[in-house]
Amino acid sequence: LLPLLGAPSPLPLYLLGFLFAFLEALRMVAAGALLADLLPKEALARARGQLGAFYAAADALSDLAAGLLFTRSRPWTVGLGSGLLFLAAGLYRALPLPPRSSVRPEGRSLLGLRFLWESPSLRPLLLQEALLGLAYAFFAGLLPFVVLRSLGEVSWILGLLGAVQSLGGALGGLLVGAVLGRLGEGGTLRLALGLAGLGLLGTALLPPWPLLAGLTFLLGAGGALFGAVAGAVRLSQAPPELRGRVAGGFLFLSGALAPLGPLLG
C-alpha cells in the first residue's frame, strides 16, 4: 500500500476504495446474519442499535484521527489501519459460531430479496426501507448545495452537520432498547419514520444552519432507530439458511438505490 500512496495517478486509490467497499459489504452481510444466529429476537434489535451507535461514533472519530495521523506519518497511519483490520478479523474469528444448517437454499443470489417481497409482513417494511434509503441519498446529494449555495455558509458548517447527524445516529442506536420497551416494534418504527421525515421536510425550508443542525440530528436518530428495528425484524423472520441472502439482498437494493438520490437532486 505504501508505494501506492505516493503514486501520481489516483487510479490505485480508486481501486483500493473499490476493494475496501467490496470487503465491507461482505462483512456487513456476514456480521448481520451471524448476529441474528447468536441472539434471540428480543435482544437482536437492541444489539443492532448498540453496534450501530459504536460504529457511527468510530466512523466520526476515525476520519479526524486518520487526518491528523496522515499529516505526520503516512507509514504509521497505514500500518495502524492494517493492524486494526487484522485485530477485527481475529475478534470475529473468536466469536462462538452456531452449527451450520444442513439445509442448502436453492436459488440465485437474489433469493433473499424474493423472500422479502413474497412475505406479507416483510414486504411493506422492505418498501419503507427502500423509500427511506432513497430519501437519505437525496438528502446527502443536496445537502452541500443547500449549505454552500442556498444558505451561503462556509465549508466547515457542512462537516459539522455531518458530525451532528452521526451523533444523532449514535444516540438513536443507544435508545433502541428503551424505545422498544415503551412503544413496541410498530410504535418504534412509526416514531423513527416521523423523526426522519421531520428532518427531511425541515431541511426543505432552508432554515439557518443551527436549526438545520437540529434537523440533521433528528434525521440521524430516526434512521438509526428504524434501521436497527427493521433489520432485526427482517433477519429474525428469515430462516437461518436464508439470513445471509436476505441481508445481502437488502444491501444490494440499498446500493442500487443510493445513486438515484444525487441524480434526482
Model confidence pLDDT, tens digit, residues 158-188: 888 888 888 899 999 999 989 998 999 889 9
Grid coordinates standing for 172?
438513536
* Nearest partner of 51 among 109, 95, 111, judged by Cα: 95
Angle at 260 between CA 117 and CA 145, to 5 degrees: 140
Range of lowest pLDDT (65-74, 139-148, 160-169, 240-249): 65-74
**Beta carbons of 147 and 158 less than 8 angstroms apart:** yes
The structural domains of the chain, with segments of one domain joined by +, span 7-72+107-264
What mean pLDDT do residues 232-240 have? 87
Q: What is the dihedral of CA 147, 149, 153, 155, to 10 degrees?
A: 70
Q: Report whether pLDDT(1) > 50.
A: no
Q: Quote the CA–CA distance of 249 and 111 in Å, as a whole number.
A: 8
- pLDDT band for position 4 (cuts 50, 70, 90): very low
User: What is the chain's mean pLDDT, rounded?
Assistant: 82
Q: Quote the CA–CA distance of 24 and 35 in Å, as a whole number.
A: 16
**Beta carbons of 195 and 179 less than 8 angstroms apart:** no
pLDDT of res. 20 = 83
pLDDT of res. 2 = 45
CATH class of 7-72+107-264: mainly alpha
168: CB partners within 8 A, 6+ apart: 216, 217, 218, 219, 220, 221, 224
Q: What are the tens digits of pLDDT across the range 52-104? A: 888 888 877 776 677 777 777 777 777 887 888 889 888 888 887 777 666 66
pLDDT of res. 70 = 72
pLDDT of res. 9 = 63
Q: What are the tens digits of pLDDT across the range 27-62? A: 888 888 888 888 887 789 999 998 888 888 887 777
- pLDDT band for position 190 (cuts 50, 70, 90): very high
Rg for the chain (alpha carbons), in Å? 20
pLDDT of res. 158 = 83
* Nearest partner of 125 among 190, 171, 179, 180, judged by Cα: 190
pLDDT of res. 155 = 79
Distances in whole angstroms, Cα of residue 74 to Cα of each of 19, 105, 255: 20, 46, 31
- For residue 99, give the DSSP letter: P
Highest mean pLDDT: which range of 160-164, 207-211, 241-245: 207-211
Q: Report whether pLDDT(211) > 90.
A: yes
Distances in whole angstroms, Cα of residue 114 to Cα of each of 104, 199, 238, 242, 253: 16, 32, 12, 11, 12
pLDDT of res. 39 = 87
Q: Quote the CA–CA distance of 210 and 263 in Å, as a whole number.
A: 27
